[in-house]
Amino acid sequence: MIAILKYFICLACLLIASAVSSSEPINYQNISINANSVTLNEVSNQLTLNGEIKIDFGNFSISGKSALLDYKEESLLILGTPASIISRDQKINGKADRLIIYPNLSMEMIGNAELLAENRSIFSQHITYQINADDQR
């Protein structure tokens, strides 16, 4: 239970760090994480989520087979076949073998990547995308 609480606090810190640079406040108070198992490794400062994961925060929904939150690297790696991210408000729909999300809301999509954002469609093996934090509410 303490490991899950530490994870929520660290994930919230990563997400809130991106809001500091934004001119408008972003509400990340409603974070929901579902996974079959959660493992905190305090030595490596990593949190591992396994089994059909789903992470909801703000207007984003992320899903995959497993995830790794690395406190040192300040990144969230989501693996899946495929892993996906959806934002109803920002009209973002993406999927790839791996998603890497950083506190500034930049995202790398690696392996069979597809990104549909507004009226654009991008297909590649590696997509780097900056989610516009100013559009979130």
Three-class secondary structure assignment of the chain? CHHHHHHHHHHHHHHHHHHHCCCCCCCCCCEEEECCEEEEECCCCEEEEEEEEEEEECCEEEEEEEEEEECCCCEEEEEEEEEEEEECCCCEEEEEEEEEECCCCEEEEEEEEEEEECCEEEEEEEEEEECCHHHCC
Domain extent at residue 20:
2-135
Confidence of residue 119 (pLDDT cuts 50, 70, 90): confident
Domains of the chain: total: 1
Is the pTM higher than 0.85? The answer reads no
User: 15 vs 37, 110, 123, 126, CA distance in Å?
Assistant: 22, 21, 27, 23
pLDDT in tens, 70-118: 888 889 999 998 999 998 787 889 999 999 998 888 899 999 999 998 7
CATH for 116? 2.60.450.10
pLDDT reading at 124 higher than 80:
yes
